[in-house]
Amino acid sequence: MCSNRYENVTRRRRRGSSDDYHYLQIIANFLGTISKIVTVIGAGISTDIGIPDFRSKTGIYSLVDRHLFYSSVLFNPESRSLFYRRIADIRRDAKNANPTKTHHFIRNLHDSGKLVRDYTQNIDYLEEMVGLSTDIGVEYVLLYRSLYRLRCSNCPGTFSWHEGGREMESLSGPGPPCPGYTKISDDRKAKGKRVTAIGKLRPDIVLYDEQDPRAEAISAIVSYDQSLRPDVLLIIGTSLTTYGVQLLIRDFAKVIHKRRTRKVVFVNRIEPAKS
């Protein structure tokens, strides 16, 4: 959805039609004339390489209940097992995938000095594969963290998937124990003391109803990026259903629309959420 004379590319009914390419070329030409671009991307940019999105007809929600991505699943053995297996499948697909042309396009924006920031909803960490920094506040911001590491359910520690058979334990469902808590519990047992509860390792992602401890840091980055008065907000591969992302888009759009020559561009295969 593009402001002013740029039209919504998703309104062209035939995918790959000449109209699509015409309007995409208009957008590309415009991007070549400006210097500051903020991108917001979603799972739609990775579907061509076999990583499913969430809300399309072939997405994850068509295979499993969307409530699988709420924190309540972690408290029920059956739902937790399904959650771990599904996440492990997504991670395996991501690990075996190559970045798409869209990922390389965002890297090109960075290399040309045009990219202010890439805000990604994706948890597949493919941006890192094209050389964008994963450190918060550098080239891109992981809005929901990523599947790159595991974190403990009881402590702030993060751990690799590859050590101690953790990947296989996740695939089988129960979730591996936290090595830090395991050592503490073993030491207490050896001393004849009461053993402590051992935390489980879980994917280092933010579920829909969870608070992200990085929220204040991300908010500060958003405010800083808005102060730079970006020329374009480029939104790709997302239906904009998540409330937090809607707020992010609205805040940036308000800043950009204060200048008539600047644009908000939405490119996706399906229409955005009505809200």
- Mean of per-residue pLDDT scores for the chain: 81
Q: Do 47 and 40 touch, CB atoms closer than 8 A?
A: no
Instruction: Summarize the confidence of residues 180-191 as an average pLDDT.
Output: 65
Per-residue pLDDT band at 210 (split at 50, 70, 90):
confident
Mean pLDDT of all residues in 119-127 = 90
Backbone φ and ψ for 39, nearest 5 degrees, come out as -115, 145
Per-residue confidence at 185, pLDDT binned at 50, 70, 90?
Answer: low
Q: What is the pTM of this model?
A: 0.82
pLDDT at 112: 93
Q: What is the distance, to the nearest Å, from the Cα of residue 161 to the centroid of all Cα atoms in its chain?
A: 19
Structure confidence at residue 230 (pLDDT): 95
CB within 8 A of 63, min separation 6: which ones?
52
Confidence band for 68, pLDDT divided at 50, 70 and 90: confident
Q: What is the percent of the chain where pLDDT is above 70?
A: 78
Q: How many CB atoms lie within 10 A of CB 69?
A: 21
Model confidence at 11, pLDDT cuts 50, 70, 90, reads very low
pLDDT (tens digit per residue) in 235-252: 999 989 888 999 999 999
Write out pLDDT tens, residues 124-176.
888 888 888 766 657 889 999 888 888 887 777 788 887 766 776 666 666 77
* Distances in whole angstroms, Cα of residue 84 to Cα of each of 33, 124, 176: 46, 15, 10
